[in-house]
Structure 1
Amino acid sequence: MRLRLKVVAIGWVLIGAAGACMAGVALIPDLRAAHGGGATGAFTLTEPQGCDRYEPPRRCGWFGDFVSDDGRTVRRHMDLADGLPPGAQVGDTVAARDTGSLAAIYPTDDETTWRTTAAFFAGFSGAFLIGIVALQPWKWRNR
């Protein structure tokens, strides 16, 4: 029983640490976007992401190309955070902001994307802490 608990606890620690690191990396650009940081420019929709297989397909997000207002920043095949309302078409252009995210460009009015990422960060951090408490590394010295 103790061995099984240790294996599960180690799993919680590893998954929690990896997830918290990835969510932490994603949270920084999300917060910058929410506070108006980064370069502003235009995001041109190039490819829809379909969420389901039913007709008409519901679009959950868009890939596209970002060009900053000054033309110095060009990011190709990026994901538009928060998606768009129905009716968007390939070739449409929206005002957007690049904050250095590895995968996402944010609408200029985006103030809420960070909340989802922060929730993931909190959840993975909780999993990490549960694993640490179950392992009780502070007692290892006495063994």
Structure 2
Amino acid sequence: MSAEVEVFCDGACSGNPGVGGYGAILRYGSAEKELSGADGDTTNNRMELTAAIKALEALSRPCAVTITTDSQYLVKGMTEWLSGWVRRGWVNSKKEPVLNRDLWEQLRELTGKHQVRWVWVRGHNGHPENERCDALARRAIDAYRNERR
């Protein structure tokens, strides 16, 4: 895997559940691509997962990818919890069905195509790309609402 890609992603929700948005930045060398979108009835966690999914879907070939996010849910899900969920048949440690299974399954499939490293950063703490992704997600929410008026 020769290509090294940096991905920064964030999700946001106005109400939880409510209107949600995601934002992602893909960086390959000096080239950047921004992605964003919204959903009218979702949760913050679903938007966090969606941001990573959309970023990985945008990659045209296998890459070494570093994904930076402020979502501990996303990072811990992918690095600590996923293997146990799969082993237990998509049941969590409380013996309840895993929430957002559809998105976790998509992420599992997509990350299998790449060499992925997960990095957590504290949200709303001045990390430039994280702040940009948050702004992309919030703009997507605003645009969604404006289209529905």
Q: TM-score, normalised by structure 1?
A: 0.25
Q: Which has the larger radius of gyration?
A: 1
Q: Which has the higher strand share?
A: 2
Q: TM-score, normalised by structure 2?
A: 0.24
